Structure 1
């Protein structure tokens, strides 16, 4: 009986893990995915092959980085481009730099897989 319960718990845990990964993959709104793909295609070319590569890229990023963290990192990157003393925290804070580093790692992995 103990073995059966252990097996049931292992299967349930596996199902929950698979569900959370699937949910995280789909937590990026369509508009955010499309925005990424448009920007990616603007940088890499306007053809079907690049469309597929850019779509693959945002899917891989979504597997690695939850949408909330993606938005935070994109916000930090945008604020780093703005000049002035008020935005200096976005350039110097370790937590901000870590958010950007996580996004860069996800982008690098996506590029290896998709391009």
Structure 2
């Protein structure tokens, strides 16, 4: 009986030390692919294989930093800054959206730095 109890304690020890297993992040594959494609497109002078690896690293790092629903909100706000006219004015005038845009850009800079991605190449 003592042997069984000792075995159960040993088996439970890694869970106690490391906590419960982490759930896989929730970024859908299609959004990962789109992120990598956009990232590669922003660096046309770099090699595609190199950028595929670096951009994959970046989206994985992004997924570790924020939940998918938060990523959607932040990236949508950042992409919407290109909307012109009255519709774009709402985005430019919204303090919350401006804060989201700033946070997204900071997060993107962090993951790019960690994955050795330089600034986008001008076209």
TM range (shorter): 0.7 to 0.9
Partners of 1:53 and 1:107 lie apart in 2 by: 13
Which structure shows the higher helix fraction? 1
Q: Which stretches of structure 1, 4 residues or more, deviate above 3 A after TM superposition?
A: none
Per the alignment, residue 66 of structure 1 pairs with 67
Query: Alpha-carbon deviation of 1:46?
Result: 4.2
**Match of residue 31 from structure 2:** 32
Question: Take 1:67 and 1:42, find their aligned partners in 2: how far apart are those partners?
Answer: 22
- Give the TM-score of the pair, scaled to structure 1: 0.75
CA RMSD of superposed structures (Å): 2.5
**More displaced 10-residue stretch of structure 1: 58-67 or 79-88:** 79-88
Please name the residue that 1:98 is paired with: 99
Question: Which whole-Å CA distance do the structure 1 matches of 2:100 and 2:66 have between them?
Answer: 10
What is the CA distance between 1:47 and its match in structure 2?
A: 2.3
Q: Deviations over 1:69-107 (max 9, x none)?
A: 111122212322111223322112121112112211211
Contact 1:79 1:87 in 2 (8 A): yes
Aligned pairs, number: 103
Partners of 1:88 and 1:43 in 2: CA distance: 26
User: Is the CA contact (8 Å cut-off) linking 1:60 and 1:106 kept in structure 2?
Assistant: no
Q: Using the alignment, how far apart are the partners of 1:91 and 1:99 within structure 2? A: 12
> Counterparts in 2 of 1:1-115, with a 5 A limit?
11=16, 14-15=19-20, 18-19=21-22, 22-23=23-24, 26-44=25-43, 45-115=46-116
